[in-house]
Amino acid sequence: MSIDAIRTVAVLGAGTMGNGIAHVFARAGYQVILRDVEQGRLDHAVDTIRKNLDREVKKGKLPESEKPAVLTRLKPVTDVAAIAAADFAVEAVPEKLEIKRAVLGEADKLLRPEVLLASNTSSISMTALAALTSRPDRFVGMHFMNPVPVMALVEVIRALQTSDRAFDLTMQLAKKLGKTPVAVNDAPGFVSNRVLMPLINEAAYCVMENVATPEAVDAVMKLGMNHPMGPLELADFIGLDVCVDILQVLHEGLGDPKYRACPLLKKYVAAGWLGRKSSRGFYHYP
């Protein structure tokens, strides 16, 4: 399949990442079939996309006149059969292997054989996911960053089985979305989390060992290293439970004790202090 033959894209899962992915495809001119199991999630996703488009209009990134067309390109569906019309599909369902297995199996049966299937997983092996499908050579990782409409990067992950053709097409597609694709081979945490999570973990150790307060750790990294957000602010944004899960994937996958999750991170998670989403993490969010 050529890049120009891709006109309709299926996005599986309409949560945090799915609505952002649907947004950028629709904004780039693609017809988007946004599929979720819950109608409520679809309604919320469309609402979020509308608000985010408004923000882009206000910032001068999108002409006001284009907004209605972007919204009409979105087709929210609960009926999975509707995805059969897609020329490319990307899944953004919860980070649980059993859910991924079910969703990929379903998509694999419905999509035409030449259609590429992509995953936005943060931590599951792309090679293992590819092996669950009948199209492992047409399976690829498309790791978007949150918030998707804002962040420039897409890590394009090559599973062991991914063909050069599928990989190149996905790189081109990410460029069509106005993103900067970066080629990465499949390995635990890819590059993004392999490098970021040890930084967050070390910042948590600094707090646990009373080297400095969270504010001080973040100030050092922002003012001294030019990071736009401190690592602990960022950890709260990502979710401390998600950070611990990804550290566990790195620890198990690479077998190196340097990836062991900081006990303070685990303690916060045990307390339900998960970051922004629970109103408390390293910081308070009243």
Interface mask toward ligand NAD for 114-153; x: CB under 6 A: ------xxx---------------------x-x-------
Give phi and psi for 188, each to the nearest 5.
Answer: -50, 125
For residue 34, the 8-state DSSP code is E
Rounded to whole angstroms, the Cα distance separating 109 from 55 reads 38
64 is catalytic: no
In this structure, the strands spanning 88-91 and 116-119 are parallel
How many residues touch ligand NAD under the rule CB under 6 A: the total is 25
CA angle 39, 41, 92 (to 5 degrees): 115
The least CB distance from residue 244 to ligand NAD, in Å, is: 13
The least CB distance from residue 51 to ligand NAD, in Å, is: 16
CB nearer ligand NAD, residue 15 or residue 198: 15
Q: For 159, left (φ over 0), alpha (ψ -120 to 50), or beta?
A: beta
Which 219-248 positions form the footprint of ligand NAD (CB under 6 A)?
238
The least CB distance from residue 38 to ligand NAD, in Å, is: 5
CB nearer ligand NAD, residue 130 or residue 206: 130
122 is catalytic: yes
From the list 32-40, 61-69, 211-219, 248-256, the region that binds ligand NAD by CB under 6 A is 32-40
The SS3 assignment for 122 reads coil
Does 99 participate in binding ligand NAD (rule CB under 6 A)? yes
Contacts of 38 (CB under 8 A, 6+ apart): 78
Question: In this chain, which of 23, 27, 35, 179 binds ligand NAD, going by CB under 6 A?
Answer: 35
From the list 29-37, 47-55, 62-70, 214-222, the region that binds ligand NAD by CB under 6 A is 29-37
Rounded alpha-carbon distances, angstroms, from residue 277 to 101, 143, 239, 274: 27, 22, 7, 7
Does 13 participate in binding ligand NAD (rule CB under 6 A)? yes
Question: In this chain, which of 16, 163, 172, 278 binds ligand NAD, going by CB under 6 A?
Answer: 16
Rounded to whole angstroms, the Cα distance separating 244 from 252 reads 12
Measured distance between the N- and C-terminal CA atoms of the chain, rounded to whole angstroms: 50
Rounded to whole angstroms, the Cα distance separating 210 from 215 reads 12
**Closest residue (Cβ) to ligand NAD?**
15
Q: Residue numbers of the site for ligand NAD (CB under 6 A)?
A: 12-18, 35-38, 41, 92-95, 99, 102-103, 120-122, 144, 146, 238
Q: Which residues are catalytic?
A: 122, 143, 155, 193
